Structure 1
Amino acid sequence: MSVKEAILQVHDLSVERRGRLAVEGVSFSLPAESDTALVGPNGAGKSTLVAALLGLLPHASGRVELLGQPIAANGCLPRSVRAQIAYVPQNLVIQGLIPLSVAEFVGFGFDLPGPSLPWRSGKQRTAAVLRALDRTQTCDLRKRLLTELSGDQLKRVLLAFCLVRPRRLLVLDEAQAGLDVHSNEQFQQQLLDLRREEGWTVLQVSHDLEMVRRSSDQVLCLNRSLRCSGTPQATLSEERLGELYGLNMVPQPHG
């Protein structure tokens, strides 16, 4: 892969959670249009690291630059930067008391403020929503309530939310959780296609090491600190995984 600008740069980052260091001294960068996997055992600090990178948690020390803008230690992100990031969580909690349709939810993604996409007319908003739903094969779901969707339908709707306006960074925290093998393969193929078409930079937390081997350009191995990083071939050897997970705790391939 040719050298490209870094969308995200992390320098000696430490994050506290519940009074202890959950992430300590982590440094890495994400080249533009790359796919980076974040792997490690449960409790390694993966979700904590992601939350700090997104400005959802303050960091105790270190420096983070996202799209060339520094993230303040208190987690404050400039509005212009936040509008260019999309986040797909492991579990999206849908409040059943709020009857939100798929089209309404995706439309909220269009409404996010940012200088790169000023406010537009209702017709332009509707067209953008329908285009995003069409590209994720979810047009037939547009009037359905979010609470009525299956797991794989909801994941595709979340991708439509990411597509409804231009983004540069897509962050996924165990996005394949709850999907069967077939649905996971479909989701990953769609994500790969969209990444190439949109020029997204992707950071995804995953326990599916076979998927990581197939699709990732870079792997970050985290167990509170960054134990190693590099290509899947260099980082996912039996020796490296044994050191990261423990000899009897290495995740088994899906199948």
Structure 2
Amino acid sequence: MKRLSIVLLFAATAALPAAAQLGGPPIELTEHPYAKKGDWEVRWFTDSRGAFVHADMIRSYENGTALRLVWGKDLNAVDFFGPTQEIVEAGRAEVTWYFDNPDPGTVMANTAVIHPDNNGDLWLRINQRTDEPGVEDALSNAGSVTFHSGTNVWKFDLKGSNAAYKAFLDCFHQQTGAGGTAPAPTTTVPAPAPGPAMAPAGGGTVPAGAGVPGEHSYATVGDWRVTFVNDNTGAFSRAVATRHYANSTSLRVVV
């Protein structure tokens, strides 16, 4: 029997312990442009041996900040870049962040990780678990994302992120799956074909997003939004029905 869990969300996600962390020294990488979608660029990177390291979708802003989503071997992260001092300050404190509006139950809290890139620039990295879907669905469908740390606030416009995310998925799967142009990495994450777990009862059409890692929209019924979640291998993990109420509470049913 499937387990049914009902979660009533009244407050923000519980905070992780705040502790500044500095990533290891950057390695020499070669950048390979993949696609440009509006203000977004999709790229993939190889090491000195030509092995795939990671792919990203990145957008730079007129105020000198930048935002990117990064996937690689055992890596699923959201990075953003700004004035160095603000980044260093944020790396010493908890960062809270949300897409569009800070509704209770949708605000996330994470430990800041300072990540130096290949050019020595300091990014703020928010690592996500690689064995669970991250925020890809929200990143590709929301209008903005906002980060808070102390008195620092960074808000990023996400216009065009949906098309960029689709190209990013294609790029990542090409480089890590069969038929990719990069040498096969030690651990590959191919995009599997939809499995029987995603087949509708009694037959029918397999929903868009089946076999693709992340959270995917399935239907909107009245005030309820139904999504399904695949793990990082693309296998079905769970279905979720969510409703937000006028009093800023939310109800989520997870099957």
Task: Give the TM-score band, short-chain normalised.
Answer: under 0.3
Question: What TM-score comes out, normalization by structure 1 length?
Answer: 0.28
Question: What TM-score comes out, normalization by structure 2 length?
Answer: 0.28
Question: Larger helix proportion, structure 1 or 2?
Answer: 1
